A and B are shown apart, each in its own frame.
Chain A
C-alpha cells in the first residue's frame, strides 16, 4: 500500500533510512551541525538558546493556545494518609499540577503548542508526530487550532490485530481532533513510516525531542515554582516527574532552574517494566503502560540520541537528582485513591509520579512540599478498569497483595494497604556509566579531549575527575 503517483523515489527501508538526514533537515529546519563541537561533544545550551523561543515567548505562545496556567491542588487527604503511615513529624504536603486541564488533556500540549506554532510561522502545510502517547492528541489539538493538517503515526496492534485499549483511545482522540492516524503493528519500522510520510507530505516534524518540544515544558517547572512560592512562601523540596523519553524531566528541571529553585530535588519515576522487550509482538499487549516506563526511561537516559532528531534536547542525566521505579499495581491503586479521596479522576499513566510521591513524601518533614507535576485525562480505554480488564484477558494475573511480588507481563499486584506503597531506587551511577560507554561507541573516538571531558561531566552531572576515572575503567 502506498500513495498513488509521485512515488518516484526508492522507498525501500535502506533507501529511506539513507535519506534520513536530508528528510530531517527539511522537516525541522534546525541546523544541528552548527552546534557540533566534535564527533562526541556539542553545545547543548547553545542549541537550546538559539533554536527555541525564550521562556517569555513560549509562555505567550501557550497562552494564545489555551495551554498552561493549570491549577495546583493540595492533596490534603492523601497527605494525611502519608502522615498516618510515616514516622512522627514526617510526611511533606503533596501538591499536584493538574495538567489534565490543558486543551487535549495532558502536559504534552506544552510541547505541541510550540512545535505547531513554529511550523505555522515557517509556512509548513502540516505537522507529523510519531507517538502512541498523549502527545498525538496534543499535536492534533494544536494543529486544529492553528489550521494545519496533522498526521499521527501510532504503534497500536499486535499481529492478531489486538490493540491496547489505552492506545485505541488515543487513536480515537486524535481522529476526533481532525488528524489522520496511521495505525501500525509492533516494530521500530514505525520510524521508517514517519520518515516516508515527512518526505511525501513536506510536513513539519513535530518531534518530541526538538528544542521546541523541550522548551515548551519549561513553563511547567517555572509555573509550579511560582504557584508554590505565592501560596506557601517557600520552594518545593522535591518535584516528582514521570520519566520516559526524558523531555518531561529536562523541561521541568530547566523551568525550575529558570525560576531559581536551585535546591529543589528533581526525582524521575518510571513504571517498572523490566524484562519486557519493547519490540516484542508478544510482550506488547502484556504491559498495562504504554509510556512512562523503564522500557523508555532507562535507554533514553543512558543514550538520549536514539530519537528522531540528530541531537535530542531531552537530556535527563543533566538534571536528575534521583531515579526511582514503581510497579503497575501501585499506579492503579493510587489512581483509584486520587479519585475516591481527592475527587480527581485522572488517567493512570499520568499518576506514575503520584505513586512515587506517596512513598517519597514520608522521607520529608511535614513543613516541606513535594510536587507531582502532572495529571492526564481519563476515559474509556484509558482507565484502570479498561486496562486491568484487558490485562486479565491477555492472561496477566491481577490480585491484591504485596506490590513487591509484581512481575512485569505476568502479575499485577494491587497493594492491600496504603503503607505498602514504596519506590525502588535505580542507580544513577550505572546509567551515567552506561551513557559514557554509549557515547564512546557512538562517536568512535579513541582519545577524549579536555573539552570533551567537560562535556561528558555536564551530560552526566558529575565531575571531570569522575569522568576521567570511568573512561579509564571502560578502556
Chain B
C-alpha cells in the first residue's frame, strides 16, 4: 500500500466529528465513551503522508480536510469460507420435495 499521496490521487481521509466529551449524554456507555468518527473519499489536493492532514475534493465537489488513511482505498467485503450450517439445506429440501437422497 502506498504511504504517500500526490495531488489527484484517489484517497480516504478520516476525522473526528465529536470527541468523547461532546457526545450525547443519552447514549449507552460503550458509545458515549468513544468518539464519533467519519471517513470520506475523494481526490487529494495535497501531497501528504499517511496520518497527515490532507485536503480532498469529493465527487460532489466539496473540499474536505482530514487525516490521510488510505491511498486507492478499496473494499474488503467478501463471501468467506463455506458456512457448514447452510451447506445441507438444499439437499434436505430436495429430498423432501422429490425423495432423492443426495448424501
Contacts and interface: CB of A to CB of B under 8 A. Distances in A.
Interface of A: 1-5, 13, 77, 80-81, 84, 126, 149-151, 156-157, 159, 165, 168-169, 171-172, 175, 178-189, 192-193, 200-201, 277, 279-282, 332-333, 336-337, 339-341, 380-386, 388-390, 398-400, 414, 417-418
Contacts of A388: 83, 85-86
Given A169-B77, A201-B62, A380-B79, A159 B93 contact: no
The B interface is mostly helix, strand or loop, or mixed, namely: mixed
A3 B63 CA distance: 6
B30 A187 contact: no
29 contacts: A1-B16, A4-B65, A5-B63, A149-B59, A150-B60, A157-B37, A159-B37, A179-B59, A180-B62, A182-B40, A184-B17, A187-B36, A193-B17, A200-B62, A279-B27, A279-B28, A332-B86, A336-B89, A340-B94, A341-B97, A380-B79, A384-B83, A385-B81, A385-B83, A388-B85, A400-B85, A414-B85, A414-B89, A417-B92
- Interface SS of A by simple majority: mixed
Interface of B: 13-18, 22-24, 27-28, 30-31, 34-42, 55, 58-66, 75-83, 85-86, 89-90, 92-94, 96-97
State the 9 A-B residue pairs at the shortest beta-carbon distance, nearest first. A1-B15, A381-B77, A340-B90, A389-B80, A159-B34, A1-B66, A281-B31, A149-B60, A336-B89
B34 A185 contact: yes
Nearest to A167: B77
A389 B80 CA distance: 7
A266 to B, nearest CB: 29
Contacts of B40: 180-183
- Kindly name the residue among B23, B36, B97 whose own CB sees the greatest number of chain A CB atoms within 10 A: B36
A217 B66 CA distance: 39
A380 B75 CA distance: 10
Contacts of A400: 85
B35 to A, nearest CB: 8
Contacts of A81: 93, 96-97
Nearest to A150: B60
Of A149, A185, A332, most B-chain CB atoms within 10 Å: A185
A380 B78 contact: yes
Which of A159, A187, A341 has the most CB atoms of chain B within a 10 A radius of its CB?
A187
Given A81-B93, A185-B34, A337-B93, A386 B60 contact: no
Contacts of B28: 277, 279-282
Nearest to A172: B75
A80 B18 contact: no
A201 B80 CA distance: 39
Given A169-B77, A187-B31, A389-B83, A77 B17 contact: no
